[in-house]
Amino acid sequence: MLKVGDQLPEFVSVNQDGESVNSQDLLGKKLVIFFYPKANTPGCTAEACDLNDHFSKLKKEGFQLLGVSADPVKNQKKFHEKFGFQYPLLADENRDVIEKFGVWQLKKFMGKEFMGIVRTTFIFDENGICVRVIEKVKTKEAAKQILES
């Protein structure tokens, strides 16, 4: 998994509208990239909505936000429109970005083991250096956790 001090990985992916997003275009501002397992599920919705509810405060602090899951563009678009998110969501179906950040891991749930996205938030400075990793994301307090940095 990416750690504090690591450089923002180079990637090109697509957002909920099918538009290309290049990591190099995200440099110059503080950046929050949050990974979530699946659009429109309770925990992921709580996290994404909390970030949206506090978007103006995060923006005022100089943060730009980017959500990432392995959902297809169509699902990300529905999720984005349903809740009116003010930030983009990447549709990383082939898991290129997810794997570069190291959040595709073995998970356990109800006695079963499977590979999946571990809910994690990465904070980068203006130069693309990772300054904080939040591994124990509190879905209903995601913005507060970021602002504590």
What residues are labeled active site? Answer: 44
User: Residue 76: is it exposed, middle or buried by C-beta count within 10 angstroms (0-12/13-18/19+)?
Assistant: buried
Give, in degrees to the nearest 5, the angle at Cα 48 between 66 and 108: 100
DSSP state of 105: E
* 87 SS3 class: coil
